[in-house]
Amino acid sequence: MHIALLSHRDIHGTDTLDALQRRAERHLSRIAHLISDLVVSLVDLNGPKGGIDRQCQVQAKLHDGRLVVVKARSEGFGPAIDGALHKLLKRLIKQRKRAVEQRRSALPFGRLAAAVG
């Protein structure tokens, strides 16, 4: 899994790319085989004013070509990154379960042919 970190300006106190890699591995270890690339974007929405304005957007490009985008906001970049990675994990697990359930509920070919013919 390749990870790229983007920010619009130099953000002081942000995690380095190594720390981001460790966070991503910790959160996404169960589903890392599904993801080819991660692009993490960090933005301080209203500058030095403070408040819950630190935003992390994670774009995950999956091996099957799909693109999944999640966002999270917090008072700091660390919690925002953790929140976005957790949202990504939940979304991908939910999509995976849904796909498995659809395959299981489909009629096997032999039963389908008997029902039609």
What percent of the chain has pLDDT above 90? 40
Give me the CATH number covering residue 92. 3.30.160.100
Which amino acid would we find at residue 96? Answer: R
Q: Give the DSSP H/E element, type plus range, for residue 54.
A: strand 54-62
Q: What is the pLDDT of residues 58-101, one digit of tens each?
A: 999 999 999 999 999 998 888 999 999 999 999 999 998 998 88
Number of Cβ within a 10 Å radius of residue 58:
24
Q: Which domain holds residue 95?
A: 2-116
Q: What is the pLDDT of residues 80-91, one digit of tens each?
A: 999 999 999 999
Q: Which residue has the tokens 């008072």?
A: 75
Q: How many domains does the chain divide into? A: 1
**Max CA distance (Å), the chain:** 70
Q: Specify the pTM.
A: 0.79
Structure tokens at 8: 């619009």
